Amino acid sequence: MSTGHLTAPAAAVTTPRRVVIDQAWRAIGPGVEVLSAADGGPLRRTIKRILDPLVLRLRSNPQFSAPLLDAATASEALEVILDNAPRLRCAATWFELLKAERRRLKITSGNAQELYFPVCFELATTRGLPSQQGSPRDAAEAVLRGIHEDRDRTAIEVLNRYVDDESVIAGLEQQLILGWGDVRAGDGIPGPFLAGLTTVLGAAAGHGARMARQRVWTALVADATPFDFGARARTDPRALPWSITEVGLSSTEPQCPPLVWTAAERSRPLDRSVVERVRGTLRRALDRDELPDIPSLCAEEVDRACAPWGLMAEDKQAALVAGIEIAVDLAPLDESAVPRFELSRTIQARLRKEAYVLHARRYLAAGEPIHPRQQQVIDDLGAFARPYVARLWARLHGRDVWQEPCDDVDDVRGLLEGVARSVSLDHRQRIKSMLELEVAR
């Protein structure tokens, strides 16, 4: 009589949900670039606003929401995403059109990706390609006006009425004076923080190196250097490794306290009045019900304006300093410029491959007379740090308001790459508009 023995069941094979989505997205191929991150995977907002609610339909298919998917579920999720590939390409085409029309109509309220991604997928499903519409531009304008109609009016009017009261302004001014005076730099040494950025912004081959990079970022967030730099920008800007005016954060050195309210709009982030910053928050907010009431929002913004860099959270302050270090590395027109960090080298290489950058470099190399419109593009590229830092500050300010963390190093690196991509897309669109104007003439 033979004796048998029990064997342990084979361990179930599981795959991280994020990996499954990334594999499916890359399998779609070209046509979804505007919905993709720099590495070719889907943007976080693409997952949040399109894939999860509209493609995978997590409410109806909760099996797709687990962090780890078994082989059968992973295969099913992959198939669902690929089945929607034509609609996703069509949604990307709609988004490009809506973004261009948004610029033409000078719409600034709300985050375009948050607002338009689900709408674009719906348009792809119900209307097909924009080219199938009688007039794609008219169709896009109608969609935008439907989204933005009366969106800003109520909250902005409440804010305007609130700050129209002189006693309110006086109280906020007193709060700002007291809060501004409370910020003082410590006597810490910035060397270790700046050295740590070499790891955070450098390459990491393998899981162990990536984990080490995360540990370094966690330590840098707890370091006092970003706070101290922000405080010294107000008293001793020469102690900083870069100029806050040259990187576009402020129009003055040392940095002056912002006004509570002024009729003049300020272009530099740290020059903007408290009311202008609150107005920007209201315009960008997708769900205002989650924001505090207007008096609380204004009081919070005064506290934020008093904090170093106009950001209260340490992780946002650290991310801004890391971003400035990237920004001063970027010189798309200078062939001899060698960035210090792996991440800035990656961004620089991507920028230099842009057709409009190659064109500008050829103009400069040829030594020919430069048209004023071309000169504007060349000037923008020569001072790339300014729009880069301004856009980074705006995104970090939004995260600060909504208390969205910057504690994940890969998320921060993705943010720093995404800002460069966004600035480059704006340059490309500006050039396209110039060319269209030339044709019209």
Q: For 14, how many CA atoms within 13 A lie in the half-sphere containing its CB?
A: 11
Burial class (CB in 10 A: 0-12, 13-18, 19+), 368: exposed
Residue 1 reports pLDDT greater than 50: no
Q: Pick the closest to residue 200 from 181, 184, 219 (CA basis).
A: 219
Angle between helices 314-327 and 207-222 (to 10 degrees): 110
Q: What are phi and psi of 174, to 5 degrees?
A: -65, -40
Count CB-CB contacts under 10 A for residue 89: 18
Q: What is the pLDDT of residues 52-72, one digit of tens each?
A: 999 999 878 889 988 889 999
How many angstroms separate the Cα of 225 from the Cα of each of 150, 228, 396, 408?
Answer: 43, 5, 18, 19
Q: Return the H-helix or E-strand segment holding 69.
A: strand 68-70
Length of the chain: 441
CA pseudo-torsion sign 40, 41, 46, 51 = positive
Q: What is the pLDDT of residues 179-197, one digit of tens each?
A: 999 999 999 999 999 999 9
What average pLDDT does range 278-297 have in this prediction?
A: 78
The whole-angstrom separation of Cα 31 and Cα 113 is: 17
The whole-angstrom separation of Cα 214 and Cα 200 is: 8
The whole-angstrom separation of Cα 315 and Cα 312 is: 9
What average pLDDT does range 126-139 have in this prediction?
A: 87
How many angstroms separate the Cα of 345 from the Cα of each of 171, 203, 235, 332, 337?
Answer: 48, 11, 33, 11, 10
Classified as helix, coil or strand, 408 is: coil
Q: What is the pLDDT of residues 339-391, one digit of tens each?
A: 999 999 999 999 988 877 777 777 666 676 666 766 777 777 888 999 999 99
Q: Which residues contact 295 (CB under 8 A, 6 or more apart)?
A: 162, 168
User: What pLDDT shows up at residue 428?
Assistant: 76
Residue 11 reports pLDDT greater than 80: no
How many angstroms separate the Cα of 163 from the Cα of each of 178, 180, 257, 260, 269?
Answer: 20, 20, 19, 9, 21
The whole-angstrom separation of Cα 170 and Cα 177 is: 11
Q: Pick the closest to residue 46 from 96, 118, 127, 97 (CA basis).
A: 118
Q: Which residues contact 236 (CB under 8 A, 6 or more apart)?
A: 185, 254
The whole-angstrom separation of Cα 315 and Cα 218 is: 9
Q: What is the pLDDT of residues 89-129, one digit of tens each?
A: 999 999 999 999 888 877 776 778 888 999 999 999 999 99
Alpha helices by DSSP H, 127-188: 136-148, 153-163, 166-181
Q: Return the H-helix or E-strand segment holding 15.
A: strand 14-16
User: What pLDDT shows up at residue 235?
Assistant: 96
The whole-angstrom separation of Cα 85 and Cα 28 is: 6
* Dihedral-angle region of residue 330 (phi above 0 means left; psi in -120 to 50 means alpha; beta otherwise): beta
* Dihedral-angle region of residue 299 (phi above 0 means left; psi in -120 to 50 means alpha; beta otherwise): alpha
Q: Between 347 and 335, whose confidence is greater?
A: 347
Q: Which amino acid is at 324?
A: I
Q: What are phi and psi of 42, to 5 degrees?
A: -70, 145
Q: Which residues contact 156 (CB under 8 A, 6 or more apart)?
A: 279, 282, 283
Q: Pick the closest to residue 411 from 213, 195, 230, 209 (CA basis).
A: 213
Residue 284 reports pLDDT greater than 80: no
Q: What is the pLDDT of residues 159-175, one digit of tens each?
A: 999 999 999 999 999 99
